[in-house]
Amino acid sequence: MLRGHDAVFVKPQTGELILTSQENSIVLHPLWLRERALNSDTLDPITKQRKYEHSLFQSDLKVLEAKISEKSKLDIYFSDSFEGHFNLDQIKNEIGWLKDVESPPVLESWTASINLKRINWECLKDPSNLKHMLHNFLKYGFCVMENTPTEKDSLLKLAGKFGYVRHTHWGKLFNVEIKRMPTDTAYTDDALSSHTDNPYREPVPGIQFLHCLENNVSGGLSTLVDGVAIIKQLELEMPEHSKILENVNVRFRYEGPSAILENWGSIIERNHNNIINRIRLSNRLDYVPALDKKTLDYFYAGRKRLNELSNHPNYQIQFPFKKGTLLMMDNYRLLHGRTKYNGAEGVRHLQGCYTDHDGVTSLYRMLSKGSKVTSVPTEL
Ligand SMILES: [Fe+2]
């Protein structure tokens, strides 16, 4: 059966469906299709959840007949007497023949030459501006916003626009300022080399926010580096070392007065599409297992080079925080740090918090489908 250049045929021996277009052809399993039927008596129209147990389907299910009608409708008759209704474009989205409008953009690596744009907080009341901002966040891994409200703890509301604030043993918010008894180097005026936050936590926080309430010191510039860019460089220079950093699981540990936290993971990680999308680099907290000499030689040399790249001016951007600046960064992909400052010079007070990634991706998907939402749903 034909629609435009699309056609469907049944393979009688196996009961599979062959779908062809001008450029492509694919053979689809009967059960794969059956689970995608849109019939209102088998799929809840509001929640889009199935109303049945797919384990009850016959394992030898077959497609008996199929036809494409107008407006991308596909009807399939199965050997268990079920007549399923399908949306052909939806199937083509899933198998990659059509671009899925709601899919987050592909990430793009960047170096120090990136043009740092700052977004006015007020603009984000407009859904189209918000979608554009989220698009860039998903593409580059960070966003710098200005002129945000600066009442104490207002970060809870600001970050709450993009996700649900993660409560940790430091509370919902942490105050980055000089402390008399620091439990982390962040609470001093020392420089912080490029790092990812909390690799010892399970799960590792997805997105970090840093919000400036006051800053009247001259140093203390915030730094950012794209982990994907430095891993690509390492792969070019030292491919075997890079593989070791991908294959060896490292123990990350934090031990403080109120918590002992441990988690394991590789320094370099790929996603399900085999694309590098995650880095764990925290040179005060990592403990590699006692492996053989050759593996550890490669591990240490690769990690050393990755550390050098993560603090190299070709890859690192530096920018000042002023009152009302809000930095939002992907803690799985980006490394952050700060330059040294002199605490005797004045006050530098930031507040920070974490959220997961799914608030941002959900907002982006909703806006891509035409919704006018401007924040994730409020916590009850
Ligand atoms: Fe940090």
| Residue keyed to tokens 């000499």 | 293
Dist. CA 332–CA 190, nearest whole Å = 24
Secondary-structure percent of the chain, ordered helix, strand, coil, rounded to 5: 25, 30, 45
17 lies in some domain: yes
Cα(31) to ligand 1 centroid in Å equals 47
47 lies in some domain: yes
Q: What is the mean pLDDT of residues 33-56?
A: 94
Instruction: Specify the DSSP element, H or E, that contains 210.
Output: strand 207-215
Cα(211) to ligand 1 centroid in Å equals 13
Q: Which of 1-10, 195-204, 265-274, 324-333 has the lowest mean pLDDT?
A: 1-10
Q: Closest by alpha carbon to 304, among 281, 332, 335?
A: 281
Please indicate, yes or no, whether residues 80 and 222 belong to a single structural domain of this protein.
no
Q: Is the pLDDT of residue 276 over 70?
A: yes
Q: Closest by alpha carbon to 376, among 103, 133, 159, 149?
A: 159
Q: Is the pLDDT of residue 2 over 60?
A: no
Please indicate, yes or no, whether residues 39 and 131 belong to a single structural domain of this protein.
no
Greatest mean pLDDT among 163-177, 286-300, 365-379 lies in 286-300
Please indicate, yes or no, whether residues 176 and 73 belong to a single structural domain of this protein.
no
Please indicate, yes or no, whether residues 59 and 158 belong to a single structural domain of this protein.
no
CB atoms within 10 A of CB 140: 23
Q: Residue 101: what pLDDT?
A: 87
376 lies in some domain: no
| Residue keyed to tokens 């104490």 | 152
Q: What is the mean pLDDT of residues 57-65?
A: 97
Cα(375) to ligand 1 centroid in Å equals 25
Cα(236) to ligand 1 centroid in Å equals 28
Please indicate, yes or no, whether residues 164 and 260 belong to a single structural domain of this protein.
yes
Percent of the chain at pLDDT > 90 equals 86
Cα(378) to ligand 1 centroid in Å equals 27
Q: Closest by alpha carbon to 365, among 156, 130, 157, 36?
A: 130
Q: What is the mean pLDDT of the chain?
A: 94
Cα(79) to ligand 1 centroid in Å equals 58
Please indicate, yes or no, whether residues 90 and 130 belong to a single structural domain of this protein.
no
Q: Is the pLDDT of residue 354 over 90?
A: yes
Cα(197) to ligand 1 centroid in Å equals 5
291 lies in some domain: yes
Residue 42 main-chain phi, psi, to 5 deg: -120, -15
Helix (H, G, I), strand (E, B) or coil at 196: coil
Q: Residue 30: what pLDDT?
A: 98
Cα(125) to ligand 1 centroid in Å equals 29
Dist. CA 176–CA 348, nearest whole Å = 8
Dist. CA 361–CA 271, nearest whole Å = 16
Q: 301 burial class (0-12, 13-18, 19+ CB within 10 angstroms)?
A: middle
Q: Residue 380: what pLDDT?
A: 53
Model-level pTM? 0.91
Strand order in the sheet with 63-69: 63-69, 73-78, 83-87
74 in the Ramachandran plot: left (φ > 0), alpha (ψ -120 to 50) or beta?
beta
Q: What is the mean pLDDT of residues 97-118?
A: 93
Please indicate, yes or no, whether residues 126 and 159 belong to a single structural domain of this protein.
yes
Cα(187) to ligand 1 centroid in Å equals 10
Cα(225) to ligand 1 centroid in Å equals 13
Q: Residue 4: what pLDDT?
A: 64
Ion ligand 1 neighbours, Cβ < 5 Å: 197
302 lies in some domain: yes
221 lies in some domain: yes
225 lies in some domain: yes
Please indicate, yes or no, whether residues 89 and 182 belong to a single structural domain of this protein.
no
CATH (domain of 268): 3.60.130.10
Please indicate, yes or no, whether residues 77 and 206 belong to a single structural domain of this protein.
no
Q: Residue 299: what pLDDT?
A: 98
Q: Among residues 94, 126, 147, which one ends one of the domains?
A: 94
Please indicate, yes or no, whether residues 191 and 307 belong to a single structural domain of this protein.
yes
Q: Is the pLDDT of residue 180 over 80?
A: no
Cα(212) to ligand 1 centroid in Å equals 15
Confidence class for position 378, pLDDT limits 50, 70, 90? confident
Q: 199 burial class (0-12, 13-18, 19+ CB within 10 angstroms)?
A: buried
Cα(321) to ligand 1 centroid in Å equals 15
Dist. CA 120–CA 134, nearest whole Å = 14
Task: Give the distance between the most distant pair of CA atoms in the chain.
Answer: 81
CATH (domain of 39): 3.30.2020.30
Residue 358 main-chain phi, psi, to 5 deg: -70, -20
User: DSSP letters of 40-70?
Assistant: TTTB-TTT--BSS-GGGS-TT--EEEEEEET
User: Which domain range does residue 24 map to?
Assistant: 2-94
Angle in degrees, CA 302, 305, 309, rounded to 5: 135
Cα(7) to ligand 1 centroid in Å equals 54
Domain count, the chain: 2
Q: Among residues 62, 94, 126, which one ends one of the domains?
A: 94
Please indicate, yes or no, whether residues 129 and 74 belong to a single structural domain of this protein.
no
Please indicate, yes or no, whether residues 316 and 360 belong to a single structural domain of this protein.
yes
Cα(89) to ligand 1 centroid in Å equals 44
Q: Is the pLDDT of residue 379 over 90?
A: no
Cα(196) to ligand 1 centroid in Å equals 6
Q: What is the mean pLDDT of residues 102-119?
A: 94
Residue 97: both structure tokens together: 């023949």
Q: Is the pLDDT of residue 1 over 60?
A: no
Confidence class for position 187, pLDDT limits 50, 70, 90? confident
232 lies in some domain: yes
Cα(132) to ligand 1 centroid in Å equals 27
Residue 63 main-chain phi, psi, to 5 deg: -85, 130
